[in-house]
Amino acid sequence: MDKYRDYLGLGIAGNFALHLAQAGEEEDFKEIITADEAAPKGMFPFYLPSHVQEAKAILYTYPLSSSIIKLPLKNVNIQAEPEVVLICNLEYSSNKLLKITPTHFGAYNDCSIRIAGASKISDKKNWGKNSKGISDNLISIDKFSDGGIMDNYSICSFLKRDNELHAYGEDVELKGYSYFYEKLQEWMVNQINTQKNFGPLEPLCEYISTCKNPTKAIISIGATRYTHYGENTFLKDGDEIFVVLYNNKILSLQNIMDSIRNNNYNLLNISLLKQKVLA
C-alpha cells in the first residue's frame, strides 16, 4: 500500500453531527468560529509527502495500510473512525490552491488516539506506520454533485471481537455529511488557503507550499457517528475492523453483515476496508 506515498494526506474535523462530542473532542474546538453551525471545524494533516520544518516530524511517516492497524507502544486508547475518503486532483494558481477535483471514493479508517490536551489534531492521527486504513478497492466518481454515483451509497462499520460482530458506526447515507459535494469542495479550498496556526489547527497552506504544491491528495471527509458500542469500545490486539461503503439501491445492511460473517467479500458495488489490529 505504497501507492499514495507522493500524495498529500488531509482530514476534516467535525463534518458529521455529534461525532466530536462522542469522541470527546468538542472542547478542543471551543475557540474555533465557523461560518455556520453545521460547518466543519477545520482540516488537519495526517501525512506530508515532504519534510516540513514547521510541522511535527511524524507527519512525514507514511501511515496507510489496507490490512492492519498497529497499536502504538504507549498505553493509550485507540478508536477506529469510519469515514469516506476522496482521492483528489489539486490545481494551483499563484501558489494558492485553486481547485479540488475528487476522482475516486472509498472506505477509510481515520484511526485516532483518544488523549486529552493534545495541542494539535494531527497529534492524535499519525503515530507511525500502519496507523491509518484505506480500502484497496476504490470507486470512480462520475460527478461530485447531486445526481452522481455517491447519491446511492451508505457507510457502515463493524468490529469483530472474540468472533462476535458488533456495529461500530451508524449505518448512514453519504449525503448525511454536513458539507458535501460542491459546498464541501468550496469550503476545503477556502479552508486550506486561509487556515491559520490557531488552537488545534495548523497552517496548511504553508505546509503545502513547502511540499512544492502536490497535485494529488487523499482527503478523509469526517468520521460518522458511533453506535453506543463503538463510542465506548477501544481497539485491542486481535480485533478486526470493517468499514464498508455500499450501494443502498442494490444491497442492504443485512447483505453486508452476512458477507462479513461468511468471509465473502466479492460483492459488487462496495468499497471494503478490513483491518486486523496488532499490538
Q: Model confidence over 83-138: pLDDT tens digits?
A: 999 999 999 999 999 999 999 999 999 999 998 778 899 999 999 999 999 999 99
In a domain, 74, yes or no: yes
Instruction: Please name the helix (run of DSSP H) or strand (run of DSSP E) that holds residue 34, with its range, or none.
Output: none
Give the pLDDT score at 29.
61
Confidence label for 266 from pLDDT (cuts 50, 70 and 90)? confident
Confidence label for 160 from pLDDT (cuts 50, 70 and 90)? very high
Confidence label for 199 from pLDDT (cuts 50, 70 and 90)? very high
Percentage of residues in the chain with pLDDT exceeding 90?
86
In a domain, 2, yes or no: no
Q: CA 150, CA 229: separation in Å to the nearest integer?
A: 27
Alpha carbon dihedral 135, 71, 160, 4, in 10-degree steps, equals: 0
In a domain, 72, yes or no: yes
What CATH number should be reported for the domain holding residue 116? 3.90.850.10
Contact 83, 220 (CB under 8 A): yes
Q: Does pTM surpass 0.85?
A: yes
Give the pLDDT score at 57.
96
Exposure letters 11-44 (e unless 16+ CB within 10 A, then b): bbbbbbeebbebbebeebbeebeeeeeebbbbbb
Residue 19 in this model has a pLDDT that exceeds 60: no
Burial (0-12, 13-18, 19+ Cβ within 10 Å), 94: exposed
Number of domains within the chain: 1
Alpha carbon dihedral 184, 208, 58, 130, in 10-degree steps, equals: 50
Q: 28 lies in which domain range?
A: 8-278
In a domain, 87, yes or no: yes
In a domain, 272, yes or no: yes
Q: Model confidence over 21-57: pLDDT tens digits?
A: 665 666 666 666 677 878 899 999 999 999 999 999 9
In a domain, 3, yes or no: no
What Rg, from alpha-carbon coordinates, does the chain have? 17
Residue 181 in this model has a pLDDT that exceeds 70: yes
Q: CA 187, CA 97: separation in Å to the nearest integer?
A: 12
Percentage of residues in the chain with pLDDT exceeding 70?
94
- Greatest alpha-carbon pair distance for the chain in Å reads 55
Residue bearing cell 481547485: 99
Mean pLDDT, residues 63-71 taken together: 98
Give the pLDDT score at 30.
63
Give the pLDDT score at 22.
64
